[in-house]
Amino acid sequence: MSHTYDNTPIVAIATAPGRGGIGVVRISGRDLSAIIRSLFGELTFKARQASYQRFSQADGSLIDQGLAIHFPAPHSYTGEEVFELQGHGGPVVMQMLLQRCLEAGREQGLRLAQPGEFTQRAFMNDKLDLAQAEAVSDLIEASTEAAAKSASQSMSGVFSQVIHSLVEKVVHLRMLVEATLDFPEEEIDFLEKSNARGQLTGIQAALKAVFDQAAQGALLREGLNVVLAGQPNVGKSSLLNALAGDDIAIVTPIAGTTRDKVTETIHIQGIPLNIIDTAGIRHEYDEPEHGSEKIDAVERIGIARTWLEVEKADVILHLLDASRGPTRADEEIAARFPEAVPVVCVWTKIDLSGHQASVDVMGDLTQVYVSAQEQQGLDLLRQELLRIAGWQQTGESLYLARERHLIALKHANEHLQQAAEYAAQNDQSLDLFAEELRLTQDRLNSITGEFTSDDLLGVIFSRFCIGK
C-alpha cells in the first residue's frame, strides 16, 4: 500500500529538553547541499565523519563550537540526506542553533519537524517497517530493563521477521487454494492432496505462539492498572505504601483520609504495575464506626471517582479488614464490581486478627491475607498479581508489542478459525477458504505496515517525541 508524505526538509532538536553536556540539531531532506553551504560556505564534509566546526550566525558572530556530521542518502536514519550539529546542550544555545538552521534553509522550505517525523520518513523510505518504528519510541519510553531489552529485540526486526514468516506460510497456502480454483477441471481433492488442513493447523499453532509472546511483551510495555477499593480505613493507603516501599499516601486512623486517587508505579519481575489508591467507599450513613458523620461534598466526589477507576481497572484488589470480618457494606461493594475484571479479596490487618499470611483460591474466588504494618503476605500478593496478569517467565525473547498488534493478531486468528470451518466443508467452499486466508494476510501485514492506512500512520507517529 502506498503512502504519501511532505518531502520538504525538516529540522529539530533531537536531544531531550533541558541542560546537558551535548545537544543535537538534526536536519533531514532529499538535498541539503544549499543549506549546508549557507551554514558553512563551500566546506566539504566527509561522509559519516565528525568535523569540529564553529557554529556561527549569518553575520559571523559565534553561537557555539562543536561537531558536524554528514550522512548522505540512503545511508542515514531517515533514508534521506541527514546533517547533524552537535553542540553544548544548553536550551538557549540549542534554540539559537535551531533558528540559525531555519534561517539558512528558508529558501529550501526548511521547517520544524513534527513529532515522530524523522522515524516516519525512515518508515516511508523502507529503513524500518512499522513494528520496528514503533519499537524506537518504546525503547525511548521503556521504564524497566526488561522492557528496554524487548524493545531492542523488536527494533532489530525480530518481531517483524516472525510476522513475515507467518505471512509466507499463509501466502503459500493461498497460492495452493487459488491455483485449485483456477483449474477446477482437475477435479482432485485439493484439501487431501495438499494437506491444506495440516498446513492451516500449523499456521494456527504458530500464530498462537507469537500471540502468547506478544501478550507477554505488551505487559512489559503497558503494565497493569491495579485499583485498591474498599471501605474507609481498611488499609488501602497502608498497602500502597508497603508495596511501593515509601510513604506515598497519607495514613491516619481517621476514616476517609484519601479523598482522591493516588497512583504509584511499582515493578515486579520487570512488570510495571500502576497501583491506584482510591477514596474509601461508604453510603450516606454507614455502619456504626463510620456513621456518625454525613458524607461531605468532597468525599462524595472522591467516591464517584473511585467507581470510575474501578470500571477502568485491569485488576481490582478488594480490601477487607480481617480484624472485624466481612460486613454487609463489603458485600454491597463487591456486588458493584464489573464482572469482566478479575477481583482479589485482600484481607488486611492480619497482625490484629491472628490470621497467617496465605493465599486461598476457591474456584473464581481468590483471597490473600496480608499485614502492611508487619510486611506479611506482600510477596504472596505480588505473585498473585503476576499470575492474574498471565505473566510467565519463559526464558524466551519477548516482543514489546502494542495493543494494535495484539488486536491484529486476534483478528488474524479469527479469520484462520473461519478458514478452518470452510476447510471442514471439503472442496465446496474453497473460494471462501481463500478469502479468509487473504483477510488473515492483510491483518498480519498491518503490523509491519505493508497494509496500513495513512490515518493510522498519523496517529502512531504523532505520539513520538519531537526530534525522533
Asked whether residue 140 is domain-assigned, the answer is no
Asked whether residue 268 is domain-assigned, the answer is yes
Bond before 74 cis per omega within 30 degrees: yes
215, three cell numbers: 501478550
**Residues 379, 407 within the same domain:** no
What confidence tier does 410 reach under pLDDT thresholds 50, 70, 90? very high
**Residues 22, 114 within the same domain:** yes
Average pLDDT over residues 93-110: 93
What confidence tier does 376 reach under pLDDT thresholds 50, 70, 90? confident
Question: Which stretch of 109-113, 139-143, 152-156, 406-410 has the lowest confidence by average pLDDT?
Answer: 139-143
Domain count along the chain: 3
For the segment 424-452, what is each residue's pLDDT rounded down to a tens digit?
887 678 889 889 999 999 999 988 887 65
Three-state DSSP state, 285: coil
Look at residue 104 in the predicted model and tell me its pLDDT: 92
Asked whether residue 188 is domain-assigned, the answer is yes
HSE value, Cβ hemisphere, 13 Å, CA-based, for 243: 30
**Residues 342, 254 within the same domain:** yes
What letter represents residue 437's amino acid?
A: L
Closest by CA position to 39, among listed 81, 101, 114? 101
Q: Is the pLDDT of residue 41 over 70?
A: yes
Q: Is the pLDDT of residue 46 over 60?
A: yes
**Residues 213, 227 within the same domain:** no
Cα–Cα distance measured from residue 107 to residue 119, given in angstroms and rounded to the nearest whole number: 25
Q: What is the mean pLDDT of the chain?
A: 80
**Residues 214, 230 within the same domain:** no
Q: Is the pLDDT of residue 464 over 80?
A: no
Cα–Cα distance measured from residue 413 to residue 408, given in angstroms and rounded to the nearest whole number: 9
For the segment 61-95, what is each residue's pLDDT rounded down to a tens digit?
999 999 999 999 999 999 999 999 999 988 899 99
**Residues 184, 272 within the same domain:** no
What confidence tier does 37 reach under pLDDT thresholds 50, 70, 90? very high
CATH classification at residue 156: 1.20.120.430
Look at residue 291 in the predicted model and tell me its pLDDT: 45
Asked whether residue 38 is domain-assigned, the answer is yes
Look at residue 391 in the predicted model and tell me its pLDDT: 64
What confidence tier does 284 reach under pLDDT thresholds 50, 70, 90? very low
Asked whether residue 270 is domain-assigned, the answer is yes
Look at residue 292 in the predicted model and tell me its pLDDT: 47
CATH classification at residue 24: 3.30.1360.120
Look at residue 229 in the predicted model and tell me its pLDDT: 83
What confidence tier does 283 reach under pLDDT thresholds 50, 70, 90? low
**Residues 342, 229 within the same domain:** yes
Look at residue 5 in the predicted model and tell me its pLDDT: 62
Cα–Cα distance measured from residue 422 to residue 431, given in angstroms and rounded to the nearest whole number: 9
Q: Which domain holds residue 361?
A: 223-389
Q: Is the pLDDT of residue 415 over 90?
A: yes
* Strand ranges of the sheet holding 224-230, from the earlier edge strand across to the other edge: 262-268, 271-277, 224-230, 315-321, 343-348, 365-369, 358-362
What confidence tier does 259 reach under pLDDT thresholds 50, 70, 90? very low
Average pLDDT over residues 419-427: 82
Number of helices (H), then strands (E), in the chain: 16, 13
Asked whether residue 133 is domain-assigned, the answer is no
Look at residue 237 in the predicted model and tell me its pLDDT: 81
Question: Which stretch of 193-197, 258-262, 351-355, 458-462 has the lowest confidence by average pLDDT?
Answer: 258-262
Look at residue 4 in the predicted model and tell me its pLDDT: 53
Q: What residue spans of 368-402 are helical by DSSP H?
A: 378-389
Asked whether residue 204 is domain-assigned, the answer is yes
Cβ burial, residue 46 (10 Å; 0-12/13-18/19+): exposed
Q: Is the pLDDT of residue 39 over 70?
A: yes
Average pLDDT over residues 85-111: 92
**Residues 434, 382 within the same domain:** no
> Is the pLDDT higher at 367 or at 283?
367
For the segment 205-250, what is each residue's pLDDT rounded down to a tens digit?
999 988 888 877 777 777 778 888 888 888 888 888 888 775 444 4
For the segment 289-310, what is each residue's pLDDT rounded down to a tens digit?
444 455 656 667 777 777 787 8
Residue 326: which region, alpha, beta or left (left: phi > 0; alpha: psi -120 to 50)? beta
What confidence tier does 252 reach under pLDDT thresholds 50, 70, 90? very low
**Residues 231, 331 within the same domain:** yes
* Domain termination site, one of 360, 389, 418: 389
**Residues 438, 335 within the same domain:** no
> Is the pLDDT higher at 342 or at 156?
342
Asked whether residue 178 is domain-assigned, the answer is yes
Residue 12: which region, alpha, beta or left (left: phi > 0; alpha: psi -120 to 50)? beta
What confidence tier does 458 reach under pLDDT thresholds 50, 70, 90? low
For the segment 312-344, what is each residue's pLDDT rounded down to a tens digit?
888 888 888 888 888 888 888 888 888 888 888
CATH classification at residue 307: 3.40.50.300
**Residues 46, 159 within the same domain:** no
Look at residue 253 in the predicted model and tell me its pLDDT: 45
Average pLDDT over residues 117-142: 81
Q: Is the pLDDT of residue 165 over 80?
A: yes
Question: Which stretch of 2-6, 80-84, 151-155, 442-446 has the lowest confidence by average pLDDT?
Answer: 2-6
**Residues 118, 262 within the same domain:** no
Average pLDDT over residues 338-358: 86
Look at residue 188 in the predicted model and tell me its pLDDT: 54
For the segment 171-203, what is each residue's pLDDT rounded down to a tens digit?
888 888 877 776 665 545 666 777 888 899 999
